Chain A
Amino acid sequence: MNYNISKEPIVIQEVIDKVVSRNAGAVTTFIGTVREMTKGKKTLFLIYEAYVPMAIKKLEQIGSEIKERWPDAETAITHRVGKLEITDIAVVIAVSTPHRNDAYEANRYAIERIKEIVPIWKKNTGKMGRHG
């Protein structure tokens, strides 16, 4: 299972281990974390929700799209749901390829596609004004 939605904290190494391969000369890991300040407003915490079965399908679709563009790439993605505190990990994307340039590009492609097609939402309650 290279594509997961997790209610539990993500263990980065477990995501990386899924893409380690004898053919790989590069593994890139993107770690998305909960940021405290956004445009001058403070986040206290975030709540992520997902349409889980469809979200997993869409993560798998992103993996297929990466395979079409970078046939030698191996991809694993885990996205967290539930309540996340500042600095908590929301998503981990690991991509391995024979050469580094493809690993960077394919990983960037994955996070951009997540933001387009994967049914996951973060609830921005807990945001307060600058002096709140």
Chain B
Amino acid sequence: MINVLLFAQLKDELGKETLSIEGNGMSVAQLKGKMKVDFQLEGLETVMTAVNEEFADDDTILSDGDTVAFIPPVSGG
């Protein structure tokens, strides 16, 4: 299973901050597509993604136990 973390507006949109999703062998892009279909999450294409706390691109292949965080545009400072 892939651990998915949601923050900011994505967390508010889904009403959850963590999900566990069957996604071994999927790319980040495929996981985004699956989440869009399963949860009607909008705007996932444009957010940055972190895999295991490091920024990753859409081609990154996921393995069981990975933590994927969707990072909406940051606004710290």
Question: Which A residues are within 8 Å of any B CB, using their own CB?
Answer: 32, 48-51, 53-55, 57, 79, 90-91, 111, 114-123
With a 10 A CB-CB cut-off, give which of A50, A111, A119 has the most chain B CB atoms.
A119
Q: Given the complex, which residues of B lie within 8 Å of A53, measured CB to CB?
A: 53
Q: A54-B50, A91-B77, A115-B77 are in contact. Are A121 and B69 (CB under 8 A)?
A: no
Give which listed residue, B7, B72, B74, B75, contacts A117 with CB less than 8 A: B74
Q: Are A121 and B77 touching (Cβ within 8 A)?
A: no
Shortest beta-carbon distance from A33 to chain B in Å: 10
Shortest B6–chain A CB gap in Å is: 10
- Which of B8, B69, B75, B77 sits near A54, CB closer than 8 Å? B69
Known: A54-B53, A119-B50. A49 touches B7 (CB 8 A): yes
Q: Which residues 33-77 of B have a CB within 8 angstroms of A?
A: 50, 53-55, 69, 71-72, 74-77
